[in-house]
Structure 1
Amino acid sequence: MQNPYEVTGESVTQDYSVSVADDYITASMGRRFGNLILDGIFLQFVQFVTFFIWGAILSLLNEHGAQDLSIQAGLGFFSLFLMIAPYFLYYIGFEYGLGRTPAKFITGTRVVDELGNPPSLGKVVGRTFCRWIPFEGLSILFSDTIRCWHDSLPKTKVVKVR
Structure 2
Amino acid sequence: MSNSTYVLDDKLMVSVGARFLNYIIDLIAIMVLLIGFGVCVGILTALFDMNFLSIWIDGLGDFGWNVIAIILTLIYYILMEGFFGRTLGKFVTGSAVVDENGEKPDFGTIIKRSLCRCIPFDALTYLGGSRGWHDSISDTYVVNKKALAEEVKTFHEFNLIGIKEGN
TM-score of the two chains, using structure 1 as the length reference: 0.73
- Pairwise CA distance, 1:82: 4.2
Q: Do residues 156 (structure 1) and 156 (structure 2) align?
A: no
In structure 1, the residue matched to 2:95 is 109
Query: 1: distance between equivalents of 2:10 and 2:4?
Result: 13
Deviates more, 1:121-130 or 1:133-142: 133-142
Superposed, 1:5-154 pairs within 5 Å as 13-14=1-2, 16=3, 19-22=6-9, 25-59=12-46, 60-62=49-51, 66=52, 82-143=68-129, 146-154=130-138
Query: 2: distance between equivalents of 1:125 and 1:34?
Result: 22
- Pairwise CA distance, 1:93: 0.5
Alignment-mate amino acid for residue 16 of structure 2: M
In structure 2, the residue matched to 1:9 is none
Query: 2: distance between equivalents of 1:20 and 1:155?
Result: 13
Structure 1: tracts of 5 or more residues without a match: 1-12
Deviations 1:93-137 (A, max 9, x none): 110100101110000000001211111111111111111111112
The 1:55–1:84 alpha-carbon spacing in structure 2 relative to 1, beyond 3 Å, is farther
Equivalences, count = 140
Alignment-mate amino acid for residue 149 of structure 1: W
The structure with the largest helix share of the pair is 2
Structure 2: tracts of 5 or more residues without a match: 147-167
CA RMSD of superposed structures (Å): 2.9
Higher Cα radius of gyration: 1
Between the two proteins, what is the percent identity of the paired residues?
36
The 1:83–1:120 alpha-carbon spacing in structure 2 relative to 1, beyond 3 Å, is same
- Pairwise CA distance, 1:18: 6.6
Q: Tell me if the contact between 1:24 and 1:160 (Cα under 8 Å) persists in the aligned partners.
A: no
Query: 2: distance between equivalents of 1:88 and 1:17?
Result: 35
Query: 2: distance between equivalents of 1:86 and 1:120?
Result: 21
The 1:97–1:158 alpha-carbon spacing in structure 2 relative to 1, beyond 3 Å, is same
Query: 1: distance between equivalents of 2:141 and 2:101?
Result: 10
- Pairwise CA distance, 1:157: 0.5
Deviates more, 1:34-43 or 1:48-57: 48-57
List structure 1 runs of 4+ shifted beyond 6 angstroms: none
In structure 1, the residue matched to 2:158 is none
- Pairwise CA distance, 1:54: 1.3
In structure 1, the residue matched to 2:160 is none
- Pairwise CA distance, 1:24: 6.8
